[in-house]
Every structure is written in C-alpha cells, then in structure tokens.
Amino acid sequence: MTSNAGIKRNRRPHGLFVVRAEIRVAPETVAAMEAARRASGDLSLSLYIESLVKMLETERGSLPVFVPNSTNAEVLTPAAA
C-alpha cells in the first residue's frame, strides 16, 4: 500500500452513527476498490462502499443474494431476503 499522508478525502458527515466493520479480501479487490473510490472524487473507502450499496439498492430494489456453487458465486435472487 502507498502512503495516504496529506490526502484530503471526501468523507461521511461528522456526527453520524457508524460501526466498525473489518473485512479480509483479496489484494486485487482492494486495488479495484481503491482505484474506483479515487476516480469517484477521492471518496473515503467507507463512503465509496455506502454509495455502492445505495446504487445497487436503487437499481435493483435491494442487494443481490449470492449462492456459492462449485465454480464461483451466482446470483440467487435480485433482492436480499
């Protein structure tokens, strides 16, 4: 990872309730999300993920539900149960 010193990010407004969520993902996933959030106006990673969730909910009605199969994950339904 590179140094983030001196980088001004667009963040969530102060005072909003948040919870900490730690996740483990492949390095390629992190790189893709980092590139996308920077291209989206240098959003913080949390604001980028929240915006992505809102976009999916607006487009699909809710988040997709995935069912693992032998090769990868496939969408079971367009809406989360």
Residue with tokens 């909003």: 16
Which pLDDT does position 17 carry in this prediction? 83
**In the chain, domain spans:** 27-77
Could you list the pLDDT tens digit for every one of the 81 residues in the chain? 555 555 566 666 777 788 888 999 999 999 999 999 999 999 988 889 999 999 999 999 999 888 777 666 666 665 555
State how far the Cα of 28 lies from the Cα of 35, in Å rounded to an integer: 11
Q: What's the whole-model pTM score?
A: 0.65
CB 11 within 8 A of CB 47: yes
Furthest C-alpha separation in the chain: 45
Which pLDDT does position 10 carry in this prediction? 66
Alpha helices in the chain (DSSP H): 27-39, 45-60
Which pLDDT does position 36 carry in this prediction? 96
